[in-house]
A and B are shown apart, each in its own frame.
Chain A
Amino acid sequence: EVQLVESGGGLVQPGGSLRLSCAASGFTFSSYWMSWVRQAPGKGLEWVANIKQDGSEKYYVDSVKGRFTISRDNAKNSLYLQMNSLRAEDTAVYYCARDRIEGLWSGYYVDFDYWGQGTLVTVSS
């Protein structure tokens, strides 16, 4: 059974940092593009970033470029999101998601068949 379990969320002050983790199981993690998607309270979904199977390609939404870093450890079946210089507008539930197709060469899709339960990040003083 495919499972994605996020952790690392919490309350952080503006300007602070947080590292989110997503533990994957039930599939060959190293064969899939992985992504982060967030949802501010009461708002819609926002694509945040994605990363290629071997970590060689990464893409970010403009609002987080230079502040957030997506990474992965295929040996640990884990996806990460390092968030620095956090702002109030980064407050959201952060979901990790798996691309639907195994072994895809390109990450130019928003095609996610499995999602985690989400972890809440609150940026407030």
Chain B
Amino acid sequence: QSVLTQPPSASGTPGQRVTISCSGSSSNIGSNYVYWYQQLPGTAPKLLIYRNNQRPSGVPDRFSGSKSGTSASLAISGLRSEDEADYYCAAWDDSLSEGVFGGGTKLTVL
């Protein structure tokens, strides 16, 4: 059972907009930055969003992040086949003094 809760799966057709949610608590998302990672099959994770809504250089602006209270979300617009991957949210948890990840969401592009 992950500290951060994500839906196990999401799907969309090419060109669509998809959102992935991440629910936490006051000790993690509620008081710290949220990060999003993309993991393609057989590869190391890649930083997609940092500090709630910032994109590293090289990440397309089709990817956006937001945070409200103890929840966060990742939005992917103009869905492409290469976006098919696992997506993880993450944050620091002040009560645990640990980093915590969501359980991951497998995105399928139909």
Contacts and interface: CB of A to CB of B under 8 A. Distances in A.
B15 interface: no
A109 B52 CA distance: 12
A109 B88 contact: no
Interface in A84-125: 95, 100, 108-113, 115-118
Interface in A51-110: 59-62, 95, 100, 108-110
* B contacts with A: majority SS: strand
A59 B98 contact: yes
B102 A115 contact: no
B99 A100 contact: no
Nearest to B37: A45
Interface residues of A, number: 23
A47 interface: yes
A35 B101 CA distance: 14
B33 A47 contact: no
B2 interface: yes
14 contacts: A35-B99, A37-B45, A44-B2, A45-B104, A61-B99, A109-B33, A109-B35, A110-B90, A110-B91, A111-B51, A113-B56, A115-B44, A115-B46, A118-B44
Closest 5 CB pairs of A and B: A47-B99, A110-B90, A115-B44, A44-B104, A110-B99
B36 to A, nearest CB: 10
A81 to B, nearest CB: 15
B66 interface: no
B92 A109 contact: yes
Contact of A44 (B50, B56, B88, B91): B88
Contact of B100 (A47, A60, A95, A112): A47
